[in-house]
Structure 1
């Protein structure tokens, strides 16, 4: 049957076009005559003059019918027919023999070879057409019958498979239901029990194994025991009576019956699953037991309810909640201890930094101050003496003209240039001494070694002092320097801890300079690659203003790459840094945050969009408490 299906599924031109008939005869006149008759009647014709040629034609294109001559040189018609019937692809093709042999044994031999009909020569045109048409119809009916048989066999197989699947599904469902250790019942909207199922013996044995105290003797006793634990049966109903057909009020207590009917009505009204729980004493009144009931609409006016003991789950949930509460408490204690430890570490680092900075600045100021004072104090005398000597030489030159040897020396030394350059050098030395004196003064103001505690200061002066110390860092390359933009507002003196506030300014300026130095090479390469791009000028903008809430806002903004949202969320955490490994310890901003927020009662925040720079905003109250909650830093 599978071979027939394979044959039917093969593409054949006759299935979409005119029938194809193969004419095999060694007489060309017969072939031409038959071809003409068949073609004129709407058939397509293939021709073969020998038996082996006919077999080749059948391999290339299967005909719908073959008109085969018996007497041919080489392979005769009987041999050709037998060969066709031996091959799977050509076995079903009808063969009509054409022969001048009219003996009965010749016709019998033709039918034994596999032929379906026999036409004697000389043949009549009408007879040939009639028999061809008849056998083509028979062939088509045969094909249709085979197709229907195949479809019927497939349908039978599908139904058998569906039946097996249904039986397997039913078996699984039965096994699943029997494995459920729950009480299940159907109840109508009028409150009558329609069906009731107690747990199976196997599931009850599992329950009994979990509860060694409960070991009823047989399945009926186990079912009654389990049922009475789930539902407190009314005393008026015998323990072994069937629930089916009885009203819920006859079986259960009034409170439980009202509770169940409420959920039955809700399920029928909403057509949605209803989940409910209830608690009651166990049969022996020794402990509280929790039960869960699921209500599902199982018909237009009935509900399926599944009741399960969830005491173990409730106990496990309670134990889990208790364990989670303990873990949360322990986690909070650990996090607080870690936070305290980090703050203590930051405080120690800050103390060490401030002590070290004070000692360093004190030493630098002391070592530089004395020679600078000597130079700065004597520079005016040097200027006066130099001017007097130059004036004396000029008068002496006028009163006593130099001889030839003196003139040669004066020309060699370029006396006029030398006197002018000497005055300029002394002026430059004086300017350098002023600069050194200014730096020493800035160092003393930055660390405020000669001040302590809370003082009123001019914040602008503190900002400028910090910028003086960092001025050498503003020059990134010989051609490129960071542009400094100041937008100072009118602000009053602020009561604060000046030395520690200078440390905050120093950290913020230093971070901004580091960022701009890091990105400058990439920006310059991008400009070289795209000359039409706007020129990148690294800049730091400082602005101050007084708010309506009588607080001072200090904004320090750069035009660097900005900070991502994930980075901003941890920016002020101790030991967190966005710099590469080895370039930062992650303490600068954490220390700054403690100084601004905890020390001064202010706010320190960061506003940044990736690609558009970062802005740090310091908000300080104008008046500080004279008591330092953290102690001196």
Structure 2
């Protein structure tokens, strides 16, 4: 048995259920959940907790697909992807990014580096399984296509008595194998075959799902009347279609009014469109017509069969791609529904929560004016809890609304020149009393000479306030909070630094995630909505800037870099 047949047998007998998947994530809990789920689905699963190990495992084991986390310490997911795609042995392994990032810039960067898809955390397991199956199927089809191309070239090469046939097959295959447009595939196949084999007409008909009707979906003809769109009932031609449905090509000369102009006799060649060695059924047939006395030679029949096989692979790949695009559109629709829901529920919650907060204030004033001696410490404590809960819920509603409308705000940025030496002290003035009460020190470090910053002042103010709120909440008594500004010709760097607190390294990449809180910190002690830093990151991106966090040696620093155009 030759090597090509061995390769084919291997491809046909290898099921997706036995494919190897490498999961790369620096969080053991994420690894464990995905590892267990994928093993129950019949996959062989490998795992790595950092980029270095992932590269070693990928090169040594050559997995069929990689689930790759983007945000990791050391070598991040983007760098791992770049190195894998630059390695000849791992370049063709499909990579699906796992990321909590939802901005377009990171999606585009992942695709530019060679990723085939992305899944946003938290991961919906059935969605992930569907995407894995889709990309493993695409990979298998590409392997089969490559194998078909190899066989096709070898067979054509063996028929050197037909000058130029090898170049023909190569040209047709190259044109259709990478296309994901079914109409374009049909057009290329019919036109190229008709021109090179010098036929009077070339048609492609496709069956319906039950194989009871065949429709001519594309035609190239320069003599016969157009018949594109014509529908044929298989039952009307039982002997003809019985042979074709058994994957046997046929050639005959006969007058069939439905197939050709009345009274004209032609030689017809029909080749079924299906994948050689594939388990799928027949998609349709390729029809070529010549004058009665011009029969098709054996090598021409073989050539048409090979092109038909390539068409089948390309058509199935195009349909699979179209199905995946529909899935993407459906996911986008669901995301829009989710956003609309958040906007609606936030608006609906705003009015009653404002009424509750107003009622608390009214109750306090009423008690102080009419029943001042009836207010016990317990009652005061209950009112404080009520007031704080109302404020927390109002802040959550406001943050949710801001999060929903940030994308729209990107188109409504109003830039103005800002004197940071004057503006920053004004913004941080309300925090002086708060830091003094909490026994913290608030310092400003601004150079005497700074360029004016051209940016949106309201968005920049919200960014600084959120960072200062965060610093005030987590800075212990006796420690220092510093607002620092640095600038060059193109960028203004705003740093908010607080001493006495360190964020664990493994948590630093997650502090911008929605509703994320650092483990072991009591949320009731610090309050907040869990959206503050998420909003900061999105607002910085609206200003076309970047934000990073660095935490070591007893201090934490948030660095915001804003371009100054």
Question: Bigger relative contact order, structure 1 or 2, given CA contacts below 8 A and separation 6+?
Answer: 2
TM-score by length of 1: 0.28
Larger radius of gyration: 1
TM-score by length of 2: 0.31
